[in-house]
Structure 1
Amino acid sequence: MRVEEVRRLLEDRLGGGARPPSPESARAVVAELARPEVLGPLVRRLSAGAVDLPECTRLSYRHVLGFDKLLLLSGAPRFMLRVHVWPGAVGAEPEDIHNHRCVIASAVVRGRVRMECYEPAVEGVPAVVYRETIDGPGGAWRLLRVGESRLHLVRAERYGAGRSYGLDARTLHRVVSEEPTVTLFLETAPQRSVTDVYVRVPGRAGGVSGGRAGRAAPPPKTPLAPAVYLAELDALARSLGW
């Protein structure tokens, strides 16, 4: 599938009205695009130059949690299609529980992740709540502590290659990668300007007051060098047989 065909497919499936796409429609389209016979030639074309390299590298970076976020196609504000490359390092910092500004969907291309979903509850894991904003696409994260809460784990499931999921904007979750993993990740049109981040305080029977008093803002995003970006695309294309 050529780049413009993928772009049209995303535009058609996600719609252009005021209502956000459903998590299921986002999941279905990202699952289709993650098939090796579709993603392989797309990534090969991008690695060979069918990409706006300055724009893609400006919005591709090493995430604070240690995985690389590679922008494949930008249809902002309607969608952003990315590849997440997880090294699966033992002892890597776990992802905080969070939600998103939009409906998202993810499909596992290679490897495996565990996805956990949470909801606030009277009894549960204590957590400090932050509100996260971002200074525009590619901008810095800002964290503001807004309170305390408790969370209850409502679902945990492992996803291997070929499996996918979609989540609405407010679903609290975290993803854990325990081995080298590649996922295709779809962001849809933003529904709000902030996200909620819950930093767990394990081992506390009481409240979290007096626990972690603050959390430093994540470091600035540093765009990936073009050579690194293209090398990762090339490695992914070869792993898919292209």
Structure 2
Amino acid sequence: MQVEEARRLLADRLGGGPGPPSPETAREVIADLARPGTLGPLVRRLSAGDRELAECTRLSYRHVLGFDKLLLLPGAPWFMLRVHFWHGAAGAAPEDIHNHRCAIASAVVRGAVRMECYERAADGVPATAYRETIDGPGGAWRLRRVGAARLRLTATERYGPGRSYGLDARTLHRVVSEEPAVTLFLETVAQRAVTDVYVRDGAAGGPRAVTVAGAGRAAPPPKTPLSTAVYRAELAALARSLGC
């Protein structure tokens, strides 16, 4: 697939409607784009140097959760298409339970991940709730402690190559990557300015931020953009693995 063809697909399916796209619409789009015969040529073209390379690398970074988060196609405010390179057990600690500002969708390209979904419940495990904001695209995360909460696990499922899922903005979840994996990730139009983050009581050193005595959690570390060389090398390696 050519870059502009992918951009038109995303814009036509996700942009300009009377309301935000549904999680199922986002899932259908990401499933189409994640097919090897579609994704392979696209990332090969991008690794060779797309005209938006500077913006893509500026907004690509090693996430605090331990995976490389690469922007493929910017399309704010309607969409942002990314690829995530998970490093498995060698990465950071498992992520905190959280939701998003928008409906999201993800498709597994290589390896496997486990999805856990949660809900607030009086009989759930104790946790501390935080409210997270971000200072614009590529900006710093900021956490504010909200108070005590209880969460109950409602579902868990393993996703391997070719499988995809969509979640609405408020669905509480976390992704566990116990082996190297590559996922294609789609953000849709923002529906709110904040996300909710829950740290289970007794969790050892959550990844989003460090504990500060008497102040809950400090701000997470700043984002450090990936170099152009790393960005292009990771995409080229993915393209080769997809036969392109």
Say whether 1:135 aligns with 2:135. yes
Q: Which amino acid aligns with 1:68?
A: D
1:139 and 1:152 mapped to 2: Cα distance?
32
Say whether 1:186 aligns with 2:174. no
Residues 190-219 of structure 1 show CA distances to partners (whole Å, capped at 9, x for unaligned) of 00100000001149xxxxxxx996112110
Runs of 4+ in 1 over 4 A off after TM superposition: none
Moved more, 13-22 or 149-158: 13-22
2:115/2:173 contact within 8 Å kept: yes
1:217 and 1:46 mapped to 2: Cα distance?
33
Q: Which amino acid aligns with 1:240?
A: L
Name the residue aligned to 2:200.
200
Name the residue aligned to 2:159.
159
Structure 1 vs Structure 2 CA RMSD:
1.4
SS of equivalent to 2:105: strand
> Shift of the alpha carbon at 1:49?
1.4
Say whether 1:122 aligns with 2:122. yes
Q: Which amino acid aligns with 1:215?
A: R
- Assess, with a 3 A threshold, how the Cα gap between structure 1 residues 136 and 174 changes in structure 2: closer, same or farther: same
Q: Which amino acid aligns with 1:16?
A: G
Name the residue aligned to 1:220.
222
SS of equivalent to 1:89: helix
- Assess, with a 3 A threshold, how the Cα gap between structure 1 residues 127 and 141 changes in structure 2: closer, same or farther: same
1:202 and 1:12 mapped to 2: Cα distance?
45
2:86/2:180 contact within 8 Å kept: yes
> Shift of the alpha carbon at 1:90?
4.6
- Assess, with a 3 A threshold, how the Cα gap between structure 1 residues 4 and 91 changes in structure 2: closer, same or farther: closer
Identity of matched residues, %: 79
- Assess, with a 3 A threshold, how the Cα gap between structure 1 residues 193 and 99 changes in structure 2: closer, same or farther: same
Task: Write out aligned runs for 1:102-117 (5 A).
Answer: 102-117=102-117
Say whether 1:63 aligns with 2:73. no
Say whether 1:76 aligns with 2:72. no
Query: What is the number of residues matched between the two proteins?
Result: 235
1:125/1:202 contact within 8 Å kept: no
Q: Which amino acid aligns with 2:49?
A: G
> Shift of the alpha carbon at 1:91?
7.1
What TM-score, normalized to structure 1?
Answer: 0.94
1:68 and 1:154 mapped to 2: Cα distance?
28
Name the residue aligned to 1:52.
52
Say whether 1:145 aligns with 2:145. yes
2:91 and 2:76 mapped to 1: Cα distance?
35
> Shift of the alpha carbon at 1:89?
2.2
1:99/1:195 contact within 8 Å kept: yes
> Shift of the alpha carbon at 1:15?
3.6
Name the residue aligned to 1:92.
92
2:64/2:92 contact within 8 Å kept: no
Name the residue aligned to 1:39.
39
